[in-house]
Structure 1
Amino acid sequence: MKKLKERWGIEHNWQLLFPFLGLIGLAYSAFKVSLLFVDSSQTLYMLVIGIIAFFLLLKLTLFIFSKLENKWEVNYRWEMINIFLVFAITGSSSVFVSKPIIKLIGITKENLPSTLYWTLYIVIGFIFYQILLVLVGWLFGQYKFFWNFEKKMLRRLGLKRFID
């Protein structure tokens, strides 16, 4: 446990929550990947593929951490997990928020061509993603990181006037 705390820069026990949540998220992703290859009734195969997927995803995640650690300005390695969790939660949440908004506006697949429907769906989802990213980042104690991330993204989209 001491080695884990040192490696991830964990100073307080509550910070262990983030590696724990990261491993749970990784295990869930591995489970979903295993379902792509085998039927859920084939438990042994699903378990084997799930374990292999878990370790491959873990290696990939640690590789990504090593690449982004120097690029992102974070004080502790556990904050990287925190940031990844915010991205995951925000991505999923923006889809759930966008669906009722689109229905409320009256946009359906039946009253619009498919291409226009999906374009509007993506644009509305993207707008709510930006809002949720800062909000969820704030809830996870990473407001400064995600606000700077948003400003950078808005500049790249040519929307500089909204952040100044």
Structure 2
Amino acid sequence: MKKLKERWGIDSNWQLIVIFIVFAITGSTSAKLAGPLTEAIGITDAVGAFIYWTIRILIVFPIYQVLLVFFGWLFGEFHFFWTFEKKMLKRFGLGFLFKD
């Protein structure tokens, strides 16, 4: 835990717990929302498992990004998650979306 706190630049165990809670809520919520969205656009597992899961993951990704910052803000950790978000998107080659 100490290495993780140092790496993320956080001070307290409470802050670490809040960050873990935000990650859990965000992951669960984005996965839950992906099902109805894939159905709404007419994609079902009848198109084939590979295509279905590829599209579903592509739908989950932007939902996750938005929800991560939203839940981070809601739990008082906006700065941490905004910084985390920018790093993650830069690693995916989408750093051009942010001006530094």
Q: TM-score, normalised by structure 1?
A: 0.58
1:151 counterpart residue number = 86
| Greater radius of gyration (CA) | 1
1:132 counterpart residue number = 67
Paired letter, 2:35? K
Runs of 4+ with >6 A deviation: none
Measure how far apart 1:75 and its partner are: 3.3
2:53 counterpart residue number = 118
- CA separation in 1, counterparts of 2:97 and 2:37? 23
- CA separation in 2, counterparts of 1:73 and 1:97? 31
- CA separation in 1, counterparts of 2:33 and 2:76? 22
Which consecutive unaligned segments of at least 5 residues does structure 2 have? Answer: none
Residue 16 of structure 2: SS of its match in structure 1?
helix
- Counting aligned pairs with the same residue, the percent is 48
**Per-residue CA shift, 1:82-133, capped at 9, x if unaligned?**
00000011111111111111111111111x1210111111111122111111
Measure how far apart 1:77 and its partner are: 2.3
2:38 counterpart residue number = 102
**Per-residue CA shift, 1:122-154, capped at 9, x if unaligned?**
111122111111000110000000000000011
Q: How does 1:13-92 map to 2 (within 5 A)?
A: 65-92=1-28
2:97 counterpart residue number = 162
Paired letter, 1:69? K
Q: TM-score, normalised by structure 2?
A: 0.93
Count of residues in correspondence between the two structures: 99
Question: Once structures 1 and 2 are overlaid, which stretch shifts more, 129-138 or 71-80?
Answer: 71-80
Q: Please report the RMSD computed on the Cα atoms of aligned residues, expressed in angstroms.
A: 1.0
